[in-house]
Structure 1
Amino acid sequence: MLFHSPNLSSYFNASRNSTSIRVWLKFTASISSLKVVWRKDQKLDEAVDNDKSWRQCAKVVKEVLNEPGQVIPLRYLEKRRERLRLPIKIETFLSRNPLLFDVYYDRIKPKTQPVKFLRLSDRLQRVLDENERIYVENEPLIVAKLCKLLMMSKDNVVSADKLVHVKREFGFPNDFLENLVPKYPDYFRLIGNPGEGNSFLELVSWNPRFAKSVIEQRADEESELTGIKIRPSFNWKLPSGFLIRKEMREWIRDWMERPYISPYDDASNLDQASQEMEKRTVGVFHELLSLSLYKRIPVPILGKFTEEYRFSNAFSSVFTRHSGIFYMSLKSGIKTAMLREAYKGDQLIDRDPLLKANDNFVELLAEGRKQREEQLNLQKQAVKNNVDMVSMRNSTLNDLDLTESEDLYSS
């Protein structure tokens, strides 16, 4: 169920009849003391779990890409399994993902015995080349995302090293600081050297086109469609069966009725403990998750930007306090903040154009595993055929022996 703040009371009245799952809380006047017990959402947990396999494969590919010449002795990669958190041996990994690498023999040093090396397969190289084309095609989107991240931040400056750390979350290419940022001097200024811990990316000019959140854009589109001025507001969505107690219903209703505060507005005059700051913080998280590829980001990663985006030290409680807007998955022991409205079941509703790069990689993995399964089936069929032939031969021999026995008996 999706609804804006005017529909809150009807939802809450209807929810009184639901008893299967309950959200308990302790309510006081202070925002920070509002406690909501976390409840599992199986479908959203499945969404997090769906891409665990390909992300693990991507780590191994990245390890090889970072090597000189993009080749590596197999035994060296085997020694890095623990760091890569790969639970299986490299040989097993290669057999399960046959289209990722070619295995060949070479010498690590002159006069040494040849050993197994890995290099990118032609199929994987074509995927990487295609992904480069996708990045070029969607460069305006990447620039807009980067501008938005800076425009929401304090003083419009963000640590360059932190941005590199979240490049995968937002779909930035690996070399965006080296090759993309210098192409747009009207937007960006890079201060210091990335990788040395003291470099920053600064916004040079403010573009009003980028200073509009997803929620504001949605309100504008609805206003244009209906001819009625729609106020920007969060969508509130909970799975059926959730019950919210009266005190929290009243607090949410009042909070939702407060004016929306854009994450691109100056928040320097807001009290950190005020409901206005809470409104702005929820807006920032909503926008950050909306800009991300999968509309979800691990909470520890968000925590790295506490200073840049003026988050409180207890910022993660926002995700459970506003459980109709967000969901916090605990899958794989990592807290991941998710945007509820972005999903239908375990599937994304609107897919970011940059996701095509990840899709290409996933399709390659699926094709390789299908190929492996077909080979295994052929091997099983060959073994079965051999068993059948042996059985048939033994049966024929038995028949011959029986015939000879009968002839002897007759004579």
Structure 2
Amino acid sequence: MMTILHRTSWHYRNIISSVCPFNCFVQKRWKKPVDSAQTRLENRTIDLQLDKLVKQIKKLNLFLRLHELMSKRRASHTSVQLLSKWRNTIGLNVRIGSFIQRHSQVFELYMHPVKRNLCCRISAKMLDLIAEEDQVIRESEMDIVQRLKKLLLMSNRNMLNAHALWLARREFGLPDDFRDSILQKYPNVFRLVDPDTLELITKDDILAIAEVEKWRKREYVEKWLSEFEIRYAFPIHFPTGFKIESGLREKIKNWQRLPYPKPYCSKDAISVGRSRSSDRSEKHAVGILHEFLSLTVEKLIDAEKIAHFRRDLNIEVNLRELFLKHPGIFYLSTKGNTLTVIVREKYVKGHLNEPNRIYMARRKMLDFLLSRHPNPNRKQHMEEH
């Protein structure tokens, strides 16, 4: 009986299929691949060296956040139990004990003499390196003033959100107390219009030259390229393994020649240039972001922090779309569960090609953090705890 029913059902299916060929039983539709920012991000060409660099920097920043919490405590000791409670606060995705063991050279474990609980402190060597970075930042005061001036010169009405600057203070090499140590020290240059708005009072047109202009000058002099070819061009370095599709070289060549309002142009010139062409508007955004990133200490920053400057820098394009559209200029790394943007030409084999003093001080900290000095006593302490 079951066999007869089965044959009958297939018989009717065949009849329906012959009458209606697009019936759901036999129809097989070809699905167009989804093209979204997320798929383009996932399918981008990976740069292993830059990803490794970002991962290492994230680890250093995580350690420094832990050090900051420890240094703010009134008590002279910090228990390992308390460190475990801070794990989510600093974004640590492993057990605190594992983190301490893995980086035993920057931590010292000891038993509290009274409470008899396991405590932790930062090693003397690492504290010296942290102090060295702080000292270098203090000694770089004039560079910091110049950096702030350039950021303000790029912005609308020469104003920036002071809180956005505070969030990105490490990226721009600003001291934590920059409101007091920098802004109040130069009242003829900077003014806080309100607690969250910083204004540039004294303009310096000499500073209104983008970092990319230095590269253009070198290309013009050293490679004898024509001004027509280089005047609006950007350095482009595709990652290893990047597939150059048919017609891409011609598109890049035309884009490189496309005039655009440069970052430090007058706001009237920018408005006129942007109104003429969406391509020019996009290239203007590329120029702004390239200069913005070039002003950072390590030539990289979390994309989320850039978003806080969008209004002041008058960036109306989708940031992630823009970075993905120009993989020869920018690289987006997803390491550390955040999007980090890097200026590609600034790095060679994972190292900054023109290192500054703050970068060098941080590199010392990073190298020490990543070095391995196993200590069996510390491991025993952690196991006992």
Scaled by the length of structure 1, the TM-score of the pair is: 0.71
Deviates more, 1:179-188 or 1:252-261: 252-261
Matched, 1:207 2:204: yes
Conserved? CA contact 1:70–1:119, under 8 Å? no
Q: CA deviation at 1:71?
A: 4.9
For the residues of structure 2 that align with 1:145 and 1:260, how far apart are their CA atoms?
A: 23
Conserved? CA contact 1:212–1:264, under 8 Å? yes
For the residues of structure 2 that align with 1:228 and 1:86, how far apart are their CA atoms?
A: 49
Q: CA deviation at 1:192?
A: 3.1
Match of 2:30 in 1: none
Match of 1:271 in 2: 274
Deviates more, 1:201-210 or 1:130-139: 130-139
- Out of 342, 346, 349, the position equivalent to 2:350 is 346
For the residues of structure 2 that align with 1:360 and 1:71, how far apart are their CA atoms?
A: 26
For the residues of structure 1 that align with 2:247 and 2:62, how far apart are their CA atoms?
A: 44
- Out of 314, 318, 331, the position equivalent to 2:318 is 314
Q: Secondary structure at the match of 1:242?
A: coil
For the residues of structure 2 that align with 1:363 and 1:239, how far apart are their CA atoms?
A: 25
Q: CA deviation at 1:227?
A: 8.7
For the residues of structure 2 that align with 1:237 and 1:126, how far apart are their CA atoms?
A: 37
Match of 2:68 in 1: 62
Matched, 1:49 2:44: no
Q: Within 5 Å, which residues of 2 pair with 1:126-205?
A: 126-193=128-195, 199-205=196-202
Q: Secondary structure at the match of 2:237?
A: coil
Conserved? CA contact 1:78–1:90, under 8 Å? yes
For the residues of structure 1 that align with 2:99 and 2:242, how far apart are their CA atoms?
A: 42
For the residues of structure 2 that align with 1:119 and 1:375, how far apart are their CA atoms?
A: 12
For the residues of structure 2 that align with 1:105 and 1:159, how far apart are their CA atoms?
A: 45
Q: 1:226 to 1:325 in 2, by over 3 A?
A: closer
For the residues of structure 2 that align with 1:327 and 1:258, how far apart are their CA atoms?
A: 22
Match of 2:259 in 1: 259
Q: CA deviation at 1:117?
A: 4.8
Scaled by the length of structure 2, the TM-score of the pair is: 0.75
> What's the % identity of the aligned pairs?
27
Q: 1:183 to 1:69 in 2, by over 3 A?
A: farther
Q: Secondary structure at the match of 2:274?
A: coil
Aligned length: 335
Conserved? CA contact 2:211–2:294, under 8 Å? yes
For the residues of structure 2 that align with 1:322 and 1:162, how far apart are their CA atoms?
A: 25
Q: Secondary structure at the match of 1:167?
A: coil
Match of 2:13 in 1: none
Q: CA deviation at 1:284?
A: 0.9
Conserved? CA contact 1:150–1:202, under 8 Å? yes
Match of 1:6 in 2: none
Q: CA deviation at 1:148?
A: 1.3
RMSD, aligned α-carbons: 3.3
Q: CA deviation at 1:340?
A: 1.7
Which amino acid counterpart does residue 331 of structure 2 have in structure 1?
Answer: Y
Q: Which has the larger radius of gyration?
A: 1
- Out of 292, 299, 307, the position equivalent to 1:295 is 299
Q: 1:186 to 1:305 in 2, by over 3 A?
A: same
Which amino acid counterpart does residue 150 of structure 1 have in structure 2?
Answer: L
Q: CA deviation at 1:97?
A: 3.5
Match of 1:18 in 2: none
Q: 1:101 to 1:44 in 2, by over 3 A?
A: closer
Which amino acid counterpart does residue 205 of structure 2 have in structure 1?
Answer: P
Q: 1:333 to 1:375 in 2, by over 3 A?
A: closer
For the residues of structure 1 that align with 2:225 and 2:333, how far apart are their CA atoms?
A: 37
Q: Within 5 Å, which residues of 2 pair with 1:240-259?
A: 240-246=240-246, 248-259=248-259
Q: CA deviation at 1:163?
A: 0.5
Q: 1:137 to 1:278 in 2, by over 3 A?
A: same
Which amino acid counterpart does residue 216 of structure 1 have in structure 2?
Answer: E
Match of 2:375 in 1: 372
For the residues of structure 1 that align with 2:367 and 2:349, how far apart are their CA atoms?
A: 22
Q: 1:262 to 1:202 in 2, by over 3 A?
A: same
Q: CA deviation at 1:317?
A: 1.1
Q: Which runs of 5+ in 2 are unaligned?
A: 1-32, 380-385
For the residues of structure 2 that align with 1:203 and 1:119, how far apart are their CA atoms?
A: 42
Q: CA deviation at 1:339?
A: 1.5
For the residues of structure 1 that align with 2:119 and 2:242, how far apart are their CA atoms?
A: 54
For the residues of structure 1 that align with 2:272 and 2:76, how far apart are their CA atoms?
A: 51
Which amino acid counterpart does residue 340 of structure 2 have in structure 1?
Answer: T
Conserved? CA contact 1:223–1:229, under 8 Å? yes
Conserved? CA contact 1:152–1:309, under 8 Å? yes
Q: CA deviation at 1:98?
A: 3.9
Which amino acid counterpart does residue 282 of structure 1 have in structure 2?
Answer: V
- Out of 201, 214, 217, the position equivalent to 1:217 is 214
Q: Which runs of 5+ in 1 are unaligned?
A: 1-23, 27-31, 108-112, 194-198, 377-411
Which amino acid counterpart does residue 77 of structure 1 have in structure 2?
Answer: L
Which amino acid counterpart does residue 71 of structure 2 have in structure 1?
Answer: L
Conserved? CA contact 2:260–2:281, under 8 Å? no
Conserved? CA contact 1:190–1:200, under 8 Å? yes
Q: 1:310 to 1:326 in 2, by over 3 A?
A: same
Q: CA deviation at 1:248?
A: 4.4
For the residues of structure 2 that align with 1:143 and 1:341, how far apart are their CA atoms?
A: 25
Matched, 1:86 2:92: yes
Q: CA deviation at 1:166?
A: 0.7
For the residues of structure 1 that align with 2:261 and 2:164, how far apart are their CA atoms?
A: 26
Matched, 1:284 2:291: no
Conserved? CA contact 1:237–1:324, under 8 Å? yes
